[in-house]
């Protein structure tokens, strides 16, 4: 069973334990690069309650907060175009 398939069948706790072992931290396959380079960071402030909602949504999507916000912005830009 491949590491990716094995990880897909684990709970978050099991995944944490699996990848805590340095033997399971070896990169697999070819390097992956972003489709396009990132620009300089843009500081954005959110009200505390909205930021908590964003954090929960990002966690539910298994994404970082930054990746979740980027996806939301891309979605809004394509929706209004």
Tell me the domain boundaries of the chain. Answer: 1-28, 44-81
For the CA atoms of the chain, what is the radius of gyration? 17
* Higher-scoring residue by pLDDT: 17, 31: 17
**DSSP state for residue 2 in the 8-state scheme:** -
pLDDT of 7: 55
Q: Calculate mean pLDDT across residues 16-44.
A: 86
* Whether the Cβ atoms of residue 28 and residue 22 lie closer than 8 Å to each other: no
Q: Which residues, in sequence order, are CB contacts of 28 under 8 Å at separation 6+? A: 2, 3, 4
Structure confidence at residue 81 (pLDDT) = 65
Q: Which tokens is 80 given?
A: 């209004």
What is the per-residue pLDDT across 40-58, written as a single tens digit (0 to 9) for each? Answer: 999 999 999 999 999 999 9
């Amino acid at each position: 069973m491949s590491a990716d398939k094995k990880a897909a069948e684990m709970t978050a706790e099991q995944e944490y334990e699996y990848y805590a072992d340095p033997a399971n931290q070896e990169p697999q396959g070819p390097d992956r690069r972003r489709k396009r380079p990132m620009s300089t960071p843009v500081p954005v402030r959110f009200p505390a309650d909205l930021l908590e909602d964003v954090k929960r949504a990002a966690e539910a999507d298994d994404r970082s907060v930054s990746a979740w916000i980027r996806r939301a912005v891309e979605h809004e830009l394509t929706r209004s175009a």
